[in-house]
A and B are shown apart, each in its own frame.
Chain A
Amino acid sequence: MSLLQVDDIHVYYDKIHALKGISVHVEEGEIVTLVGGNGAGKSTTLRAISGLLHPRDGAIRFEGKALGGLGAHDIAALGIRHVPEGRRVFGRLTIAENLDMGAFTRRDRRVAKDDREQMLALFPRLRERYRQLAGTLSGGEQQMLATARALMGKPRLLLMDEPSMGLAPMMVEQVFETMGRIKAEGVTILLVEQNAPMALGVADRGYVLESGQIVLEGAGRDLLGDERVQRAYLG
């Protein structure tokens, strides 16, 4: 059984047919990436999985359980955490409070405290600014916080939407390096990226999306070497 099974979902924005039958599966322990141009439907797929959008057709299963009809907060409680595009940290809350909100669904306070220590060890920059408002952080630091906040919920599956967007090249390197460490901790990742070479380099498998459909799928390395992908995204 796959950890996540997306079966032929169709999503509409009013009359616009945004996803025309997307099927994706993610196995435990993998990093899977969705790549493609603007408007291909990558973010829409993630938003459908986390319950921010409801597919008109098709089914999404997480650990075998159908997610249809569940609200975003219910899906988060099941162990899926979505780091949204643009990071969306709570700028008027402190870093400490942002991390607490990440652990909102958890009852075991003491364990959550240990996890917070672990997050601060993973991202030492956050410890330095622990009591500051998240709005004062740089883009790279906000990405760290958004990731740490999501991990505070002890997810089994992490959805990451454009984590490298708008970051300096050095920060981008760091984001992808962090992803490897998260995977080593046993968290499965579904990654959406415009930066196809980096994403395919780190991913076990990848899907290429074009106007709401999957046009190619395969191992990350194979896609990276594929002539069509090279032409379309790697210039």
Chain B
Amino acid sequence: MSGAQLARSQPRISVGRVSPVDIVLWSLRILVLFVVFAGTIGAIVKDRYTAAQWFDFVMFGLTIGAIYAQIALGYTMVYGVLRLINFAHGDIVMCGAFAGYFVASPLDRSGFLTDHPVIGMAAILAVAVATSTGIALLTERIAYRPFRRVAGSGPLIAAIGVSFFLEQTFRGMFGSSVKSYPAPAWQRSTFEVWGFNVPRIDVLVIGLAIVFMAGLYLIVQRTKMGTAMRAVAEDAEAAALMGIDVNKVVVFTFVLGGAMAGIAGVFYAFVYKQVYFFMGFTPGIKAFGAAVLGGIGSIPGAMIGGVFLGLVESVGPSLFLDGLGIPAPYQLRDLIAFTLLIMVLIFRPNGIFGERMAKQRA
């Protein structure tokens, strides 16, 4: 049963009586709208940032958004097939980042990454993808499959348990210190387009993310297994009656999600230039929010939701908060991201693409 149907079956508050909850919710809406509008006007009037700075904000927003989008795909696909929120997915990202680190670090020290950037990057990504995919598959087999037929919150608790397990395992094996990710000179350099300085790493991350996400989209839309995945997401029982092995489809889903998480982990580490055992938590939660924002279960929704969230949290502080005279607004970008998530969960839990989905199902 979809959310829309559930909502309809609940008793409505009668017109003319306003509950305290309504007042709080309306105040929240008005407050957010006020911050957005007043802040934007303030920012325009103050004119504190140059065009180049705005360009940087947008560029960074697209970069981090592309990473969120890739992580969000893992949440949305697993939710679509299993109706499970895979809370360990952020930690799968961390596993990929760590695996990439152990390749990148020696390659950088030996100078290989500077001399052969393409081969070096390919090796880093390949190892990260293999690690993330492998751990995602083990997680599914050991922790999720036994809970498949369990009703209630069992599977969700299992996912949270896996999250803690992965974090603490990596902490135990590699320590709790923050390790700095290698950043060869070509990654730090920029090139000029129409007078703007474009960081190479941003272009690399955005470009590759587009390629990988387009590839994933084609796999899901055009291949037999991809179609089977969409069929299972819609009606697993009917799919089994067609001879589709639901377990194989679930494994396929975790392979796709794990691979995207591995790539995203390497990108995230390259952008923030560090790895540590808890690094998957924040992008994981944000990407989950991005998946909800786009309509959980929807693949284009996850992509658009991720990019949108990245842009809002990157441009938002300067645009909304600076204009209101809030000091050091950039430190509040997580506040903006999470406010957006809470707003979506309260006011539009089906997400941007969610409503269409619910209609089609009815």
| Least CB distance, B293 to chain A, in whole angstroms | 20
Query: Do A84 and B237 have beta carbons less than 8 Å apart?
Result: yes
Tell me which of A76, A88, A104, A105 has the highest count of chain B C-beta atoms within 10 A of its own C-beta. A104
Interface residues contributed by chain A, number (CB under 8 Å): 27
A selection of 25 A-B contacts at a CB cut-off of 8 Å is: A52-B237, A71-B245, A72-B240, A72-B241, A73-B240, A73-B244, A73-B246, A76-B241, A76-B242, A77-B243, A82-B241, A88-B235, A90-B230, A90-B239, A91-B360, A92-B357, A92-B360, A101-B227, A101-B231, A101-B239, A102-B242, A104-B224, A104-B242, A105-B242, A153-B243
- Which B residues between 193 and 238 are near A, CB-CB below 8 angstroms? 224, 227-228, 230-231, 234-235, 237-238
Task: Tell me the number of A-to-B contacts counted with CB atoms below 8 Å.
Answer: 74
Query: Do B234 and A92 have beta carbons less than 8 Å apart?
Result: yes
Query: Do A153 and B237 have beta carbons less than 8 Å apart?
Result: no
Q: Is the interface of B mostly helix, strand, loop or mixed?
A: helix
Query: Do B244 and A101 have beta carbons less than 8 Å apart?
Result: yes
Interface residues contributed by chain B, number (CB under 8 Å): 20
Report if B361 contacts A (CB, 8 A): yes
Indicate with 1 or 0, residue by residue over B344-361, a CB within 8 angstroms of chain A CB atoms. 000000000000010011
Residue of B with least CB distance to A135: B360
Residue of B with least CB distance to A52: B237
Report if A50 contacts B (CB, 8 A): yes
- Which A residues between 88 and 117 are near B, CB-CB below 8 angstroms? 88-93, 97, 100-102, 104-105
A22, B148: Cα distance in complex, Å: 30
Residues of A within 8 A of B234 (CB): 90-93
A97, B360: Cα distance in complex, Å: 16
Residue of A with least CB distance to B239: A101
A72, B237: Cα distance in complex, Å: 8
Chain A residues in the interface with B (C-beta under 8 A): 50-52, 71-73, 76-77, 81-82, 84, 88-93, 97, 100-102, 104-105, 133, 135, 149, 153
Residues of B within 8 A of A72 (CB): 237, 240-241
Query: Do B242 and A153 have beta carbons less than 8 Å apart?
Result: yes
| Least CB distance, B337 to chain A, in whole angstroms | 30
Tell me which of A88, A90, A97 has the highest count of chain B C-beta atoms within 10 A of its own C-beta. A90
Residues of B within 8 A of A153 (CB): 242-243
| Least CB distance, A143 to chain B, in whole angstroms | 14
A80, B243: Cα distance in complex, Å: 9
| Least CB distance, B160 to chain A, in whole angstroms | 29
User: Given known contacts A52-B241, A84-B237, is B361 in contact with A91 (CB within 8 Å)?
Assistant: yes
A135, B240: Cα distance in complex, Å: 19
